[in-house]
Amino acid sequence: MQVAKLLDQLKERHLYRVAVIYAAAAWLVLQIADIVGESFDWPDWLMQGLILVLVLGLPLVLLFFWFSGGSEPAAEAMSDNAVGKETGGKPSLLVLPFDCFSDEAADVWNASALTEDLTTLIARFSDYSVVARNTAFAYKGRSIDVRSLKEELGVRYVLEGSLRRQADKLRITAQLVETDTGAHLWAENYDSKVEDYDELYDELCRAIVMKLGNELTRAEMHLSQSRPPSDWGVWDLYQQAKGVLQFEGWSQQSFARVADLLRQAVSKDPEFAPAQAYLSLMLALGYWTRLYPDREATYAESISVGEQAMALAPESSEVLGFAGCALSDLGLHDRGIPILERAIELNPSNSQAFAALGVARILSGDMEEGIRHLRHAMDISPFDPGLAPWSTMLSFTETFMGNEEGGLLRAQRACKADPRYFGGYLAQAMAQIRLDRPDEARRSLEEAKRLNPDLSDKSASALIGEQAWQELGKAGITLPDPA
């Protein structure tokens, strides 16, 4: 694992190219020295000394380029001076070099690798502007008041951490700090046995990044809420829209509010692709769940804004994840699936794209593959705001495939992850009726109706399938259509 990562970093810094250029230059110097030496009858020891200097110079040159950072990777290629100042309210983040409380050379290397790999992974998410690693490593070994970094770099948040060896274990500590006040927003420890560290390394990095993303989203929402709505910019509107379902539940009113916030964001900045892509997704979800009354107009607008978003940001994993999911939710699986696969190719840590691909595969008939993708999304982002609908889809699928106990367990987890989400209770009812528990199924359906007063036979059957809804109906469990 470490050898593979070392080779990747050699490529990333273009050290192979540096070595080739150095070798070519050294060969040219020797050829010239040989010609000049013959003309001036230089002693052999002088030529031998020159060869020795050139040979010893190669590792020194490579070390220089290694620690100076070489060429910045594309994911980090942004101006340090622009971070936090010209990102339209987008949160800016600095990953400080992780401290290493160990004398082991391997631990020192691992601490540096953590800093670099976390920087690269975070930079793949278009929600964040990340300071380039060269700037970050300038703070290595320094005692820093993180509040000073707001003035120096314009960053809003700092991720700092450490690696510590404890007998046969390694402990990684990561913490998120807000630079305005120096307040700690989140901290967590990750433990691994020394012999398992390399094997678990990628999983550990993903876990830190996904948890960090959730905490940043929460912090940004609270920051926006601290300002009057009249002062909200594009980023504030976008963040508020992303939090509506989480805090207000799924209803016609909440979906209308999401769409209104996103349309305001698009109106303020028609080139902000994430807002258009997220609007496309929310419209598609509302179409699927029948939470937007005008279904024909909702369908058309979802496709239109999704295509605009992808035209604006064709290489954004986030945008493709939202837009591809929207197409699939509208029933256009053949169009949505390749887009979702491309989103994952651009960012293998995009849990939303993995979950959307899983749902698309399930709805297109590939149950096993869909379940695999959904489970992977939940594995890499176990605290994701989307956990409730993801678990609900898994519940429906497992119940449909004959694993009613597993389906019920998934539904219960969905209800626990988000008690405001009515879909989890529909999934519970479906599993309970299959398990011949009609009274429990009736109570679950009543709770779903309480959470979403607009829920009807038609909208519920659209979510769980006509066959499953008929099974509930045969047990006398139905919902009246709203007047």
Looking at residue 126, its pLDDT comes to 65
CA distances from 356 to 40, 91, 205, 387 (A): 74, 25, 22, 12
Query: Could you tell me the maximum CA-CA distance found in the chain, to the nearest angstrom?
Result: 108
- DSSP character string of 42-77: --HHHHHHHHHHHHHHHHHHHHHHHHHT-SPPGGG-
Cα separation of 23 and 54, whole Å?
9
Token pair, residue 470, equals 């008929």
Query: Where do we find the tokens 């996103």?
Result: 262
- Grouped pLDDT means (10 residues each) for the chain, 483 residues: 48 56 75 74 75 78 56 38 44 88 83 87 78 81 83 88 87 91 89 83 84 83 79 87 86 94 95 96 94 93 98 95 97 96 92 96 93 92 87 94 94 93 93 92 91 84 77 71 50
- DSSP character string of 433-473: HHTT-HHHHHHHHHHHHHH-TT--HHHHHHHH-HHHHHHHH
Q: How many helices (H) and strands (E) does the chain have?
A: 21, 6
Looking at residue 480, its pLDDT comes to 56
Cα separation of 303 and 300, whole Å?
5
Cα separation of 193 and 213, whole Å?
26
Q: Are 440 and 431 in contact (CB under 8 A)?
A: no
Query: Where do we find the tokens 């290694």?
Result: 66
Residue 248: is it exposed, middle or buried by C-beta count within 10 angstroms (0-12/13-18/19+)?
middle
Looking at residue 303, its pLDDT comes to 98
Cα four-point dihedral sign 298, 304, 305, 306: positive
Regarding pTM above 0.85, the answer is no
Q: Are 97 and 143 in contact (CB under 8 A)?
A: no
Cα four-point dihedral sign 118, 120, 121, 123: positive
Token pair, residue 2, equals 């470490």
Other CB atoms closer than 10 Å to residue 11's CB: what's the count?
11
Residues whose CB falls within 8 Å of the CB of residue 67, separated by 6 or more in sequence, listed in order:
137
Calculate Rg over the CA atoms of the chain: 27
Token pair, residue 24, equals 């070519």
CA-wise closest residue to 47 among 256, 179, 55, 227:
55
Q: Are 393 and 408 in contact (CB under 8 A)?
A: no
